[in-house]
Each structure stands twice: as C-alpha cells, then as structure tokens.
C-alpha cells in the first residue's frame, strides 16, 4: 500500500471538509458513486458498444452500460444516449466530428463572454480543424441575439453551440432554435453546468428545441467525471443516421475502451437524480445562488455567479482567488465581459453553490459566506496588477507571500474551518 498517496488523499479530504468549495463546476459525489468508481469494473476492456465488443467477457459490462443508457433516456426524455465519453471535451469533439466535416463552420459563444474552449476557442481542436465563428454578450452580459443572428446569416454555420461556462443567466433555447432554422444549422446544447437545474425543473430543458445535447456528469448532476451525449427526437428526424455517426466518432474516432467503472458510477448518479430529493436539491442550489449573488451586489439566475472586481483595482482576479484560498474559500479567477486587464490575469472571479448545497447549506448560510468573501476582498485593495507585463511575475510572487502572512485572512480561515466542519461531506462523513 502506498502510504504516501493515501496520506495525501487524507490531506485533500481534510481540505475539502474544512473549506468552502465554491467553484461552480465542482461538487461532491455520494458514497455509492465512489463505490462504483473504485470497483473491479476498472479491470475490463470493452471497446465497442453493447453486443458489439472487440473483446470477450463483456456480458455483465453490456448490462451495466445498457442500464446507464436507459436511465439517461428516461431522465431526459430522449430516444438515444451515449455514456462512454471520457469527459466533456472529448464528447464535444465526437459531436463535432459526427456533424461536421473538417473545415466546416461551427459557431459558439466566445470564451471571453463565458463560452467553452470546445465551442470554437483559439488553439482548441474546434478552431484548428474547423472554422470557428464566435458570438458574444452585450453590455448587460447577456447573449447578443442580434449579433448571433447576423453572424449566422453571414457565415451559414453547419453547427451552432448553445452552452456556457461562466454565464449567470438562463438560456432561451427557443431563440437559438429560430436562428438555427434560418440557416439550416444543427443546434447542439452543452448543458454541462446546468444539467442538475434542468432535471430539477429550475431551468428550461433544451430537449424540445435542440438536435443533440452534451452534458458532463460531474457538476450539478453530482456524478463521476464523465460525459453523456443525447440525441433528441428532433435530432433523429433531422439526420436519421446521426446515432451511427456519433458511435463512429466516439470509437474508433477519438477513443478506445470505455471506463467501465465510470459508466457504472454514472448509472448510480442517474438513479439518484431520478429521486424526488434531487428536485429539492436543484431548487436549493438556485435559491442559494440568488441570495449569495444579492449579498455580493450582483445577480444569478442559475447556480453560478460571475463577480467583477474592478471596484477593488486593476486585474484583481488572481489576487482574489489566492486571498480567498488563504481564507479557506475556493473559487477561480475568471475573465469578465469586456475584460479590461488580461485573460491570464483577469478582473473577476467565478463562484457557485452546488457543492455547498450538497453539504446542506441554506440561504442564511449564504449570507454568512458572502460576508466572509467581502471581508477577504477588502484585503486585496491596493494590490493592483502592474500594467507592465514584465513586472507581473515578481509582483504576484510578492502578493502570495503578503497574503499568506495576512493576519485577517488567518482569522477568517479559522472561522471558515469551524463553520464548514459542522456540515457533513459525502465521501468522508458517511464512509
């Protein structure tokens, strides 16, 4: 047994239990999901699909994968589902390969406006092997549908992505559908961030409006790290061959054998998502986010808050992330629309409520958490990022030292640890 590895796992378990995990794409999985992930299913090779494997001995694996597929179809109300993708980015790559030929045009929300790398960002496969056109948000930080429609009519994309990673507002799938129909584009929804909210009825489902859906399984769904691809009735009608195209894109297109322990854990999380308690969870996630946003002086219609820090100084995202980490609060630095500083040293932070809600926190707890966040942010005033790029590296080193020694942050951390320790953490408290 590796004493070193397991000591480090215990160290990470302590960090998670006695801190506040507020990165909106992170969550806690249940004891049963962990049991499936750590099972002997990891021993088996299973290239291919149920009933059509390249290896023998897959009778039980076929049953597990078929069960996961059936659960996904039931949960989302779709005729076809694929559960083998290793993660979200490979799943998006498979979808793009299934729909588009190399060099064809894809459209997605710009990374700087809260979009995802795989929706057409520079240096990603989606813009290296395909021609990417990005739409953006307006001054109100909401998707500019006028721009989107004009770009679509001009470029005639083969596929349009509707999906976000740093966007605190609900999405209007009906408007996307109208534009896609105008240019005969395949409409694909990446719902990775908001899957749990959709299942819980907090956010409208894209199923009636889009052709294909991709979701990761490890965010608001509270499953293992993985992904699913779903095809709607509309999508099958648009292209009756789309199921075969997606299969071929998954294997042999971009990957080999599926991770069977991951497939089983996805099935467990889908079982959990079908329970009435999950709807209550999703509703609480949204309630908590709304209160947290209000307390921080902004708004959220989902699970996520994008907070601008321009009132604290120039390029303050890194400083805020590190200061909050010193206080036991985990968020991520993030660009804001119209970023005034740099994508590498941005002016905002991204935070959310899925993980805290899983631990049982409610609205009154969000008020307390917000008060700590505001106290921490006061400690970074005057720590403006130098505008001269050559000075930034040394400056940030000095900032880390300064914040690590900050007595106020140490005091807040003790309060956070005492507070967080009162809430049970799946995977630690119930094992």
CA distance linking residue 304 with residue 298, whole number of Å = 11
Residue 429 lies in a domain: no
Same domain as 312, residue 190: no
Domain boundary among 273, 300, 333: 273
Same domain as 354, residue 384: yes
pLDDT of residue 428: 83
15 is an active site residue? no
Cβ 348 vs Cβ 308: under 8 Å: yes
Domain that holds residue 179: 45-273
| Domains identified in the chain, total number | 2
211 is an active site residue? no
- List beta partners, residue 229: 82, 214
Catalytic-role residue among 216, 217, 232, 330: 216
Same domain as 245, residue 124: yes
Could you report the per-residue pLDDT of 270-317, keeping only the tens digit for each?
999 999 999 999 999 999 999 999 999 999 999 999 999 999 999 999
Instruction: Of 364, 265, 346, 326, give the one whose Cα is nearest residue 39.
Output: 265
Same domain as 356, residue 266: no
One digit per residue, the tens of pLDDT, for the chain of length 431 reads 578 999 999 999 999 999 999 999 999 999 999 999 999 999 999 999 999 999 999 999 999 999 999 999 999 999 999 999 999 999 999 999 999 999 999 999 999 999 999 999 999 999 999 999 999 999 999 999 999 999 999 999 999 999 999 999 999 999 999 999 999 999 999 999 999 999 999 999 999 999 999 999 999 999 999 999 999 999 999 999 999 999 999 999 999 999 999 999 999 999 999 999 999 999 999 999 999 999 999 999 999 999 999 999 999 999 999 999 999 999 999 999 999 998 889 999 999 999 999 999 999 999 999 999 999 999 999 999 999 999 999 999 999 999 999 999 999 999 999 999 999 999 887 65
Could you report the per-residue pLDDT of 27-67, keeping only the tens digit for each?
999 999 999 999 999 999 999 999 999 999 999 999 999 99
CA distance linking residue 137 with residue 127, whole number of Å = 20
CA distance linking residue 83 with residue 251, whole number of Å = 12
Domain boundary among 221, 240, 273: 273
Same domain as 140, residue 50: yes
32 is an active site residue? no
314 is an active site residue? no
The CATH number covering residue 402 comes to 3.90.1150.10
Same domain as 243, residue 129: yes
Residue 150 lies in a domain: yes
Domain boundary among 248, 273, 298: 273
pLDDT of residue 1: 56
Same domain as 257, residue 172: yes
Catalytic-role residue among 44, 177, 219, 333: 219
Tell me the helix, strand and coil percentages in the chain, rounded to 5: 50, 15, 40
Residue 35 lies in a domain: no
Residue 425 lies in a domain: no
SS3 324: helix
Same domain as 129, residue 234: yes
Catalytic-role residue among 21, 65, 190, 326: 190
Same domain as 302, residue 210: no
pLDDT of residue 429: 73
The CATH number covering residue 150 comes to 3.40.640.10
Residues 6+ apart with CB under 8 A from 12: none
Residue 5 lies in a domain: no
Same domain as 305, residue 281: yes
CA distance linking residue 352 with residue 258, whole number of Å = 31
- List beta partners, residue 137: 143
Cβ 85 vs Cβ 94: under 8 Å: yes
Task: Output the six-digit token pair for 139.
Answer: 């001054």
pLDDT of residue 430: 62
216 is an active site residue? yes
Which 8-state DSSP code applies to residue 158?
S
Count the alpha carbons within 13 Å of 246 in the hemisphere toward its beta carbon: 25
Catalytic-role residue among 47, 149, 295, 417: 47
Residue 385 lies in a domain: yes
62 is an active site residue? no
Residue 211 lies in a domain: yes
Burial 77-89 (b: 16+ CB within 10 A, else e): ebebbbbbbbbbb
Cβ 356 vs Cβ 365: under 8 Å: yes
pLDDT of residue 427: 82
Residue 9 lies in a domain: no
Same domain as 357, residue 225: no
Catalytic-role residue among 26, 32, 35, 45: 45
CA distance linking residue 249 with residue 185, whole number of Å = 19
Same domain as 302, residue 201: no
Cβ 109 vs Cβ 134: under 8 Å: yes
| Cis before 252? omega within 30 | yes
Pairing verdict, β 186-190 and 131-135:
unpaired
Cβ 224 vs Cβ 270: under 8 Å: no
């Amino acid at each position: 047994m590796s004493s070193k590895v397991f000591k480090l796992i215990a160290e990470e378990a302590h960090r998670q239990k006695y801190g506040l995990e507020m990165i909106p794409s992170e969550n806690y999985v249940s004891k049963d999901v962990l049991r499936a992930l750590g099972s002997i299913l990891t021993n088996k090779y299973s290239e291919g699909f149920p009933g059509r494997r390249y290896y023998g001995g897959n009778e039980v694996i076929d049953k597990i994968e078929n069960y996961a597929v059936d659960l996904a179809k039931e949960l989302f109300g779709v005729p076809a589902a694929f559960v083998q993708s290793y993660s979200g980015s490979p799943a998006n790559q498979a979808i793009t390969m299934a729909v588009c030929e190399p060099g064809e045009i894809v459209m997605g929300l710009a990374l700087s406006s809260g979009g995802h790398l795989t929706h057409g960002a520079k240096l990603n496969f989606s813009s290296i092997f395909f021609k990417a056109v990005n739409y953006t948000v307006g001054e109100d930080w909401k998707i500019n549908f006028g721009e989107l429609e004009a770009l679509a009519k001009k470029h005639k994309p083969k596929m349009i992505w509707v999906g976000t990673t740093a966007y605190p507002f609900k999405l209007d799938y009906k408007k996307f559908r109208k534009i896609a129909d105008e240019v005969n584009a395949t409409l694909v929804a990446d719902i990775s961030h908001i899957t749990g909210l959709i299942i819980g009825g907090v956010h409208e489902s894209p199923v009636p409006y889009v052709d294909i859906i991709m979701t990761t399984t490890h965010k608001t769904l509270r499953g293992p790290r993985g992904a699913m691809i779903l095809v709607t009735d509309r999508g099958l009608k648009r292209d009756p061959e789309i199921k075969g195209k997606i299969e071929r894109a998954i294997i042999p297109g971009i990957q080999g054998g599926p991770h069977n322990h991951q497939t089983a854990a996805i099935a467990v999380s889908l079982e959990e998502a079908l329970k009435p308690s999950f709807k209550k969870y999703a509703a609480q996630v949204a309630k908590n986010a709304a209160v947290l946003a209000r307390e921080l002086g902004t708004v959220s219609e989902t699970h996520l808050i994008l907070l601008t820090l321009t009132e604290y100084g120039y390029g303050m995202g890194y400083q805020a992330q590190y200061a909050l980490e010193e206080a036991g609060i985990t968020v991520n630095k993030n660009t804001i629309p119209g970023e005034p500083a740099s994508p590498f040293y941005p002016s905002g932070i991204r935070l959310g409520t899925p993980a805290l809600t899983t631990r049982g926190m409610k609205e009154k707890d969000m008020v307390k958490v917000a008060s700590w966040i505001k106290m921490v942010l006061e400690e970074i005033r005057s720590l403006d990022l130098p505008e001269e790029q050559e000075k930034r590296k040394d400056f940030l080193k000095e900032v880390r030292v300064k914040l690590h020694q900050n007595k106020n942050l140490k005091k807040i951390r003790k309060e956070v640890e005492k507070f967080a320790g009162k809430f049970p953490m799946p995977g630690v408290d119930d094992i």
